[in-house]
């Protein structure tokens, strides 16, 4: 049986399917309710099993982050909460089955937490749902989630970025998501890990069960459920070719990316944590074009203090072999939540309190981050990058704060790097329009197409139902990019790109023709993009011609035609 989906990370994978999200309601419908006594007994047994699981999770403490350990401890308290248990037993006495009683008690507690005027306690709703689901899995005899075995193709409606971050490349070969657009943060992490990934995939557990064979063809956008022997053999050959191609590219990964007419483009890495540096170096990235520091905040229960931040930024700087690492200041908000900052829930988080807006209101917190970057700058080449800029005042205020923290550190005799360049992400229409002015006040631009597209085209980057409108080849975005790179060069500063467009081979002819200086992407994409650059001439396409095109389709078509001229080795690399 064949299914389709939208390709995010190209490739072919063969493996065994494993579902992540369980459909509890469906399972409850099939549940055979016993007598009141039996239901109470089943609940008590489920409670014991669930508690044992939580205890054994904590036994392996070394494998957990601080935040994960705290969450499990909170779950241990919650599962033993007497009012929660009384509520469940009370519903069983009202003739409900044990699983329905658990679901109902969870709903009640969720509603109660929702009323609370404290962000931290409101957030505990998630814990009660987690604990309830753990009890349900025991009652319904469902498996606990853990990736089992190797060659796993993971299938879920959605996966939390933190769960995605914890998945092992040794076990997982491909990810199939029901929701999630190409630039949601979960998907960005999947890409960084090099998982073959498709979104918009709908699989039903009645069609295929955990452990069944599956082929993911994320070149054609096809999924083959329970493949035939012939299909398996055909795809095994393709996987082998893919592996040979990977080896070929890895052999050249550390060579520079120089166009056929001699222009070097720096290809650097987008990272979320210092441990990503190992892969960045292995895949031949030239330093870091974007360090998403918010992950340091999202993965801590408390605000990371100065020493913790210095250690993280220092570790990145030291691993970068002397190359520049661009540290983006906290970009929390939008689809990135953080327990350690009490932020109000918003109706339109992407248009709300996010990134530099938060930092400039919580200056004490921001100053700790700025101090940490400057201090870590002594151990390598670091730059500071401000996200979500819309106004000149945000740049000037940040620069003023940098001067303030430098002065403070001088007085405290704390050594720091004096010359850390300051740049901005150009990811809002306002910053693209104002690029000629902003360029006079910063050392570099990095174009964040993920947000630039969503804000320019008024399309939520995570909303699958409008994803057909989300396209960086839309002429409005193309004109913005042209404006930004031109403004940077006129002001004598460098311009890079760190949004997902930077890793797209179709965008390369346009970006090279505009004279882009740096491209930053998931490390796993770097060897392919570098090889493509080596086979292209920088003037391969006519910028004026592209700017005269009126539709997204015309832009794509023109770029596809310009790629036809590329020589054989690049085709080999695709
Ligand atoms: C972007 O917006 O393009 C970007 C790189 O930042 P993020 O995806 O983290 O919002
Ligand atoms: Mg962004």
Q: Is the CB of 498 under 6 A from ligand 1?
A: yes
Q: Which ligand is nearest to the CA of 183?
A: 1
Torsions phi, psi for 219 (to 5 deg): -115, -50
pLDDT reported for residue 115: 77
Distance, CA of 14 to CA of 152 (rounded, Å): 8
Whole-angstrom Cα Rg for the chain = 25
pLDDT band at 118 (very low <50, low <70, confident <90, very high): low
Determine contact, residues 124/132, Cβ cutoff 8 Å.
no
pLDDT reported for residue 335: 80
Torsions phi, psi for 405 (to 5 deg): -70, -30
- Return the percentage of the chain with pLDDT > 70, whole number: 92
Query: How many whole angstroms from 184 Cα to the centroid of ligand 1?
Result: 9
Query: How many whole angstroms from 272 Cα to the centroid of ligand 2?
Result: 13
Q: pLDDT for 461-507, tens place per residue? A: 888 789 899 999 999 999 999 999 999 999 999 999 999 999 999 99
- Return the percentage of the chain with pLDDT > 90, whole number: 67
Tokens 């490739």 belong to 11
Residue 185 has pLDDT above 70, yes or no: no
Determine contact, residues 447/426, Cβ cutoff 8 Å.
yes
Beta bridge partners of 4: 222
Determine contact, residues 573/245, Cβ cutoff 8 Å.
yes
Residue 204 has pLDDT above 70, yes or no: yes
Q: pLDDT for 399-451, tens place per residue? A: 999 999 999 999 999 999 999 999 999 999 999 999 999 999 999 999 999 99
Which positions are catalytic? 185, 498
Tokens 């047994």 belong to 45
pLDDT reported for residue 21: 66
Give whole-number Cα distances, 449 to 21, 249, 388, 478, in Å: 31, 26, 12, 10
Q: Which of 192, 291, 292 to mutate to test ligand 1, by most ligand atoms within 8 A of the CB atom?
A: 292
Q: pLDDT for 261-319, tens place per residue? A: 999 999 999 999 999 999 999 999 999 999 999 999 987 778 999 999 999 999 999 99
Q: pLDDT for 51-62, tens place per residue? A: 988 888 778 666
Residue closest via CA to ligand 1's atom 6 equals 448
Query: How many whole angstroms from 166 Cα to the centroid of ligand 1?
Result: 21
Query: How many whole angstroms from 295 Cα to the centroid of ligand 2?
Result: 14
Average pLDDT over the chain, rounded to an integer: 90
Tokens of 553: 């389709």
pLDDT reported for residue 190: 84
Averaged pLDDT for residues 494-522: 97
pLDDT reported for residue 569: 45
pLDDT band at 120 (very low <50, low <70, confident <90, very high): low
Total Cβ atoms within 10 A of residue 275? 13
Residue 517 has pLDDT above 50, yes or no: yes
Q: Which of 180, 183, 328, 332 to mutate to test ligand 1, by most ligand atoms within 8 A of the CB atom?
A: 183
Q: Which atom of ligand 1 is nearest to the CA of 500?
A: 3
Residue 567 has pLDDT above 60, yes or no: no
Distance, CA of 499 to CA of 427 (rounded, Å): 9
pLDDT reported for residue 574: 40
Residue 573 has pLDDT above 50, yes or no: no
Query: How many whole angstroms from 499 Cα to the centroid of ligand 2?
Result: 7
Q: Is the CB of 518 under 6 A from ligand 1?
A: no
Q: Comparing 342 with 64, which gets the higher pLDDT?
A: 342
Distance, CA of 12 to CA of 238 (rounded, Å): 7
Distance, CA of 135 to CA of 142 (rounded, Å): 10
Residues near ion ligand 2 (Cβ under 5 Å): 427, 448, 451
Query: How many whole angstroms from 119 Cα to the centroid of ligand 2?
Result: 25
Q: Which atom of ligand 1 is nearest to the CA of 454?
A: 2
Q: Which atom of ligand 1 is nearest to the CA of 448?
A: 3
Q: Which ligand is nearest to the CA of 501?
A: 1
Determine contact, residues 53/239, Cβ cutoff 8 Å.
no
**Strands (DSSP E) found in 393-501:** 422-426, 444-447, 494-497
Distance, CA of 101 to CA of 303 (rounded, Å): 38
pLDDT reported for residue 323: 98
Structural element, H or E, at residue 176: strand 172-177
Determine contact, residues 151/118, Cβ cutoff 8 Å.
no
pLDDT reported for residue 148: 72
Of the listed ranges 470-474, 530-534, 570-574, the least confidently predicted one is 570-574
pLDDT reported for residue 570: 44
Q: Is the CB of 448 under 6 A from ligand 1?
A: yes
Residue closest via CA to ligand 1's atom 8 equals 450
Return the DSSP state at 30. Answer: T
Averaged pLDDT for residues 243-272: 96
Kindly give, in sequence order, each residue whose CB lies less than 8 Å from that of residue 342, ignoring residues fewer than 6 positions away. 119, 120
**What pTM does this model have?**
0.77
Averaged pLDDT for residues 173-196: 80
Give whole-number Cα distances, 366 to 32, 120, 291, 300, 385, in Å: 56, 21, 16, 16, 13
Q: Comparing 1 with 135, which gets the higher pLDDT?
A: 135
């Amino acid at each position: 049986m064949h299914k389709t989906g939208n390709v995010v990370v190209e490739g072919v994978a063969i493996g065994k399917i494993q579902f992540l999200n369980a459909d509890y309601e469906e399972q409850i419908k099939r549940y055979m309710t016993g007598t009141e006594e039996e239901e109470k007994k089943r609940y008590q047994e489920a409670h014991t099993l669930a508690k044992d699981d939580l205890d054994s999770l904590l036994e392996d403490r070394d494998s957990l982050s601080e935040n994960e350990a705290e969450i499990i401890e909170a779950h241990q308290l919650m599962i033993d909460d007497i009012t929660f248990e009384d509520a469940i037993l009370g519903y069983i006495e009202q003739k409900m089955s044990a699983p329905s009683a658990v679901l109902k008690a969870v709903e009640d507690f969720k509603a109660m937490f929702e009323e609370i005027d404290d962000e931290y306690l409101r957030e505990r709703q998630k814990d009660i749902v987690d604990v309830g689901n753990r009890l349900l899995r025991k009652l319904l005899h469902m498996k606990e989630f853990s990736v089992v075995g190797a060659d796993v193709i993971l299938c879920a409606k959605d996966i939390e970025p933190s769960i995605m971050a914890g998945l092992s490349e040794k076990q997982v070969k491909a990810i199939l998501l029901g929701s999630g657009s190409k630039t949601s943060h979960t998907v960005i992490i999947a890409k960084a890990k090099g998982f073959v990934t498709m979104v918009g995939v709908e699989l039903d557990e009645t069609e295929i069960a955990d452990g069944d064979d599956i082929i993911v063809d994320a070149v054609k956008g096809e999924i083959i459920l329970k493949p035939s022997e012939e299909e398996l053999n055909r795809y095994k050959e393709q996987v082998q070719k893919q592996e040979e191609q990977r080896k070929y590219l890895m052999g050249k990964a550390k060579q520079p990316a120089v166009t056929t007419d001699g222009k070097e483009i720096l290809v650097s890495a987008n990272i979320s944590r210092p441990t990503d540096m190992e892969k960045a170096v292995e895949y031949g990235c030239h330093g870091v074009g974007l360090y998403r520091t918010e992950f340091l905040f999202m993965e801590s229960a408390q605000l990371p203090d100065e020493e913790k931040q210095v250690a993280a930024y220092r570790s990145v700087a030291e691993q970068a072999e002397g190359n520049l690492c661009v540290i983006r200041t906290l970009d929390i908000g939008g689809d990135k939540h953080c327990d350690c900052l009490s932020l109000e829930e918003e109706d339109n988080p992407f248009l709300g309190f996010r990134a530099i807006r938060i930092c400039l209101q919580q200056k004490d917190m921001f100053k700790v981050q700025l101090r940490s970057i400057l201090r870590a700058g002594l151990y390598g080449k670091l730059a500071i990058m401000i996200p979500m800029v819309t106004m000149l005042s945000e740049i000037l205020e940040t620069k003023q704060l940098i001067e303030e923290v430098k002065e403070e550190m001088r007085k405290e005799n704390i050594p720091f790097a004096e010359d850390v360049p300051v740049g901005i992400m150009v990811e809002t229409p306002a910053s693209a329009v104002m690029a000629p002015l902003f360029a006079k006040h910063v050392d570099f631009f990095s174009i964040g197409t993920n947000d630039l597209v969503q804000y320019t085209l008024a399309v939520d980057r995570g909303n699958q139902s409008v994803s057909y409108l989300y396209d960086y080849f839309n002429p409005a975005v193309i004109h913005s990019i042209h404006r930004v790179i031109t403004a940077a060069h006129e002001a004598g500063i460098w311009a890079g790109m760190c949004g997902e467009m930077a890793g797209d081979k179709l965008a390369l002819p346009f970006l090279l023709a505009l004279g882009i200086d740096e491209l930053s992407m998931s490390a796993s994409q770097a060897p392919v993009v570098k090889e493509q650059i080596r086979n292209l001439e920088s003037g391969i396409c006519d910028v004026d011609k592209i700017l005269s095109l009126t539709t997204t389709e015309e832009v794509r078509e023109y770029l596809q035609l310009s790629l036809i001229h590329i020589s054989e080795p690049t085709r080999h690399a695709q």
